[in-house]
Amino acid sequence: MVTRYNAHGYMTAIRQDDFGTYVTHADYKALEDSWREYAADVDALRKLANDRYNEIERLTAELAECRKDALRWKFVREKLYLSGNGDGTCSMGAVNLPERNDGWPEVGKQREYLDNAIDNAIARSK
């Protein structure tokens, strides 16, 4: 019997005798089992790669949203001022924000409304 490793690292047994070289049924069964293990490994790797790809897509979308929020904060921060209250504290106010916004935010949708209003102000200021 000759023991070899195939291209995928699995051990195969090949019998050699006076009648030639052949693989017995028991050897075939062992080969079949090793190929099933190999196929299971491939499936596990595909699932892992797919999970990683989905995670990268989610993080890419989250990063894009963070960039938008950073741009909004930078725009609003440039419009803020501080004034002293005379007692060691200060108040914050805003100047040069857009005077008028169309409509009024629906209940529970204030954040989206403000994001849109700031985005529109940024677009008008360019």
Decide if pLDDT at 120 tops 70. yes
Domain ranges, ordered by start, for the chain: 78-126
Nearest 5°: the CA angle 40, 42, 44 is 70
What's the pLDDT score for residue 95?
79
Decide if pLDDT at 1 tops 60. no
Three-class DSSP category at 35: helix
Q: Which residues contact 38 (CB under 8 A, 6 or more apart)?
A: 8, 10
Residue 107 is classified by DSSP as: T
Q: Which residues contact 94 (CB under 8 A, 6 or more apart)?
A: 76, 79, 80, 81
Whether the pTM exceeds 0.75: the reply is no
Q: Across all residues in the chain, what is the average pLDDT?
A: 79
Nearest 5°: the CA angle 72, 78, 79 is 95
Q: What is the pLDDT of residues 38-92, one digit of tens each?
A: 888 888 889 999 999 999 999 999 999 999 999 999 988 888 888 888 888 888 8
Query: In 3D, which of 12, 4, 58 has the Cα closest to residue 34?
Result: 12
